[in-house]
């Protein structure tokens, strides 16, 4: 039991006001300016006193209401969440939230963190690997005369053949393809490291982005850190066979540290750039840009 | 642990100035930080569940894509975001608010010592069975000398645990490669989605029980989560 009477201080203030409650209260303020307010130890529940050393004070009903109302008003910050319900603000706020998530994602990304690779036995059969196109499964690429147009911050812009890509060291990896929808499938992919290709074309190492345009008018972009990741491929093989048309023949992106819609198919143009002018088809619909796993 | 119990004195019916009539007692049970976190988190949880179910609608299954076997068709009317991309925006925005209230709450509880009010410990174990008998089998009401009885502590402690699990399982879905050790612990990316979904239902189960108990405990108890002060505490 520990009563402190602090006469005349803070009129209308109840016990604990402005103080952090910490389990064992030992400093309770009592306002006894009004004569109808008294501290009366005997009125305090005997059990409480004995068991818990709780200090007691008293206030009148009016003050209790006042204190209650003031405490209620302190919850006003909760109403700030109502901004999300205002149509004019909602879109901007959600875009900011998504942008913040992307910003954190980019900072969490570590080049040395590899996507899990799997045994051949864990790979889904080829016919169980979903074909997800945004428009058509086969945009009718002329595979005979296909060339990849390279532009932007590179020393050797121009048109590159599939043979030039295939001349780079070949990589085969069994990795998980994760779709934004929620499904995932383990597939077998083969190709050249995008980082090797960037070296070959003399890409500016200080450039920040890679953008690609596709035969089906799809477009995508990658941050440079992901482009240089050792598991990020210019993929020309699936299941040890040349890419089929539905899976993006002759060349697609395969970045297992990214979500599915970043794995652009039917590549036609590749640009190395300091400024992102085209972000991505799904990003422009409202999806996350970075979406690193 | 309970707050200071104060006496509320009513002026009416008082005969002499020196003869106050005590009509009620009240205790300051919920510090401001706890109340703020509770209500902001309530909104955040609502949005997380609503948008999460919209995300689930994009692939309402936990199996392979080919062939796809849907688990359940959740009605769009009970989902937030309108479409997958919209729902992801809500989910990836409100997760920060959800996490922030959780971190602020846990930090406050830890450093203020207020966690003793709700943390279920071994000392609460003997009181569990009498409370179960009281709640479910019309047993006598055990004497409770704290804000929360052992079953309440057990429920709230579990809820906090589920909240932490919801964040960790979500992290395994969002960043299975950057936090591969965490994803590995729960069986990999594929299982993270299943766990995240299961944890959501567990949280909703808690919320249901919580709401029932709030209704049963009456108005003053509800008001205490708004003002901090609980009138006529039963201890």
Average pLDDT over chain A, rounded to whole? Answer: 84
- d(Cα A84, Cα A76) in Å, to the nearest integer? 15
Q: Is residue B12 part of a domain?
A: no
Asked if the Cβ–Cβ distance from B96 to A97 is below 8 Å, we say yes
The pLDDT assigned to B6 comes to: 77
Q: Which of A40, A61, A105 faces B10 most closely, judged by CB atoms?
A: A61
Q: Is residue B112 part of a domain?
A: yes
Find residues 217-256 of chain A whose CB sits inside 8 Å of chain B: 256
A106/B contact by beta carbon, under 8 A:
no
Q: Is residue B23 part of a domain?
A: no
Mutation to test the B interface, candidates A12, A19, A21, A281, most B Cβ within 10 Å: A21
Residues from chain B that touch A98, judged by Cβ atoms under 8 A, are 88-89, 92-93
Mutation to test the A interface, candidates B13, B65, B94, most A Cβ within 10 Å: B65
Q: Which residue of A has its CA nearest to B110?
A: A22
Section B204-223 average pLDDT: 94
Q: Which of A25, A40, A178 faces B189 most closely, judged by CB atoms?
A: A178
pLDDT band of residue A39 (cuts 50, 70, 90) is very low
pLDDT band of residue B19 (cuts 50, 70, 90) is low
- d(Cα B83, Cα A47) in Å, to the nearest integer? 58
Sheet hosting strand A158-160, strand order edge to edge: A158-160, A148-152, A267-273, A209-214, A219-223
Cβ count near B45 (within 10 Å): 20
Q: Is residue B9 part of a domain?
A: no
Residue B96 has pLDDT above 70, yes or no: yes
Q: What percentage of residues in chain B have a pLDDT greater than 90? A: 70
The pair of three-digit structure tokens given for residue B39, joined into one six-digit string: 């209500």
Structural domain boundaries, residue B47: 32-218
Residue A259 has pLDDT above 50, yes or no: yes
The pair of three-digit structure tokens given for residue A175, joined into one six-digit string: 């990795």
Residues from chain A that touch B45, judged by Cβ atoms under 8 A, are none
Residue A25 has pLDDT above 50, yes or no: no
Q: Is residue B190 part of a domain?
A: yes
Residues from chain B that touch A25, judged by Cβ atoms under 8 A, are 3-4
Asked if the Cβ–Cβ distance from B145 to A75 is below 8 Å, we say no
Instruction: Give ipTM to 2 decimals.
Output: 0.89
B121 Cβ contact list (under 8 Å, min separation 6): none
Residue A18 has pLDDT above 80, yes or no: no
Give chain B's end-to-end CA distance (angstroms, integer): 11
Q: Is residue B169 part of a domain?
A: yes
Residue A56 has pLDDT above 70, yes or no: no
pLDDT band of residue B22 (cuts 50, 70, 90) is low
How remote is the C-alpha of A169 from its chain's centroid? 33
- d(Cα A139, Cα A137) in Å, to the nearest integer? 7
Q: Where residue B141 sits, what CATH number does that domain have?
A: 1.20.950.20
Section A144-156 average pLDDT: 97
Q: Is residue B11 part of a domain?
A: no
Q: Map out the domains of chain A with their CATH numbers.
A: 1-74 (no CATH), 109-285 (3.90.420.10)
Residue A128 has pLDDT above 60, yes or no: yes
Query: For chain B, how many structural domains are there in total?
Result: 1
Higher pLDDT, A161 or B218: A161
Q: Is residue B16 part of a domain?
A: no
pTM of the model: 0.85
A187/B contact by beta carbon, under 8 A:
no
The pLDDT assigned to B23 comes to: 61
């Amino acid at each position: 039991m520990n009563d402190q009477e602090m006469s005349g201080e803070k009129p209308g203030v109840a016990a604990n006001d402005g103080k952090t409650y910490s389990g064992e209260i030992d400093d309770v303020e009592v306002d006894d300016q009004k004569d109808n307010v008294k501290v009366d130890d005997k009125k305090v529940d005997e059990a409480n006193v004995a068991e818990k050393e709780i200090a007691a004070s008293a206030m009148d009903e009016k003050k209790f209401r006042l204190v209650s109302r003031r405490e209620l008003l302190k919850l006003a910050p909760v109403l700030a969440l109502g901004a999300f319900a205002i149509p004019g603000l909602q879109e901007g706020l959600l875009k900011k939230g998504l942008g913040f998530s992307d910003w954190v994602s980019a900072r969490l990304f570590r080049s040395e963190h590899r996507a899990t690779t799997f045994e051949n036995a864990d790979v889904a059969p080829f016919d169980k690997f979903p074909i997800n196109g945004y428009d058509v499964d086969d945009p009718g690429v002329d595979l005979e005369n296909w060339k990849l147009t390279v532009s932007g911050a590179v020393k050797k812009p121009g048109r590159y053949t599939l043979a030039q890509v295939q001349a780079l060291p070949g990589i085969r990896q069994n990795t998980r393809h994760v779709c934004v929808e929620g499904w995932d499938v383990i597939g077998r992919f083969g190709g050249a490291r995008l980082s090797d290709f960037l070296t070959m074309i003399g890409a500016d190492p200080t450039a920040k982005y890679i953008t690609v345009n596709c035969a089906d008018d799809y477009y995508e972009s990658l941050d440079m850190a992901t482009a240089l990741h050792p598991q990020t491929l210019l993929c020309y093989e699936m299941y040890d066979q040349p890419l089929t048309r539905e899976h993006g023949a002759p060349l697609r992106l395969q970045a297992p540290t990214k979500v599915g819609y970043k794995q652009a198919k039917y590549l036609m143009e590749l640009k190395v750039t300091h400024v992102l002018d085209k972000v991505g088809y799904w990003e422009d619909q409202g999806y996350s840009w970075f979406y690193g796993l | 642990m309970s707050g200071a119990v104060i006496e509320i004195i009513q002026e009416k019916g008082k005969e002499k100035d020196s003869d106050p009539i005590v009509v009620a007692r009240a205790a300051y049970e919920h510090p401001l930080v706890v109340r703020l976190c509770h209500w902001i988190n309530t909104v955040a949880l609502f949005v997380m569940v609503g948008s999460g179910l919209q995300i689930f609608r994009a692939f309402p299954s936990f199996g392979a894509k080919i062939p796809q076997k849907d688990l359940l068709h959740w009605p769009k009317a009970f989902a937030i975001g309108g479409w997958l991309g919209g729902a992801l925006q809500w989910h990836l925005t409100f997760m920060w608010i959800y996490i922030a209230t959780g971190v602020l709450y846990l930090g406050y509880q830890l450093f203020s010592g207020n966690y003793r009010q709700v943390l279920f410990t071994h000392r609460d174990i003997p009181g569990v069975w009498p409370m179960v008998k009281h709640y479910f089998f019309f047993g006598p009401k055990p004497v409770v000398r704290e804000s929360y009885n052992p079953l309440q502590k057990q429920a709230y402690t579990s809820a906090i645990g589920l909240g932490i699990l919801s964040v960790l399982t979500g992290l395994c879905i969002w960043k299975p490669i950057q936090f591969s050790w965490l994803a590995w612990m729960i069986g990999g990316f594929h299982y993270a989605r299943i766990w995240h979904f299961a944890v959501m239902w567990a949280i909703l189960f808690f919320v249901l029980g919580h709401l029932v108990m709030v209704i049963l405990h009456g108005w003053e108890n509800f008001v205490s989560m708004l003002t901090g002060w609980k009138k006529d505490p039963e201890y």
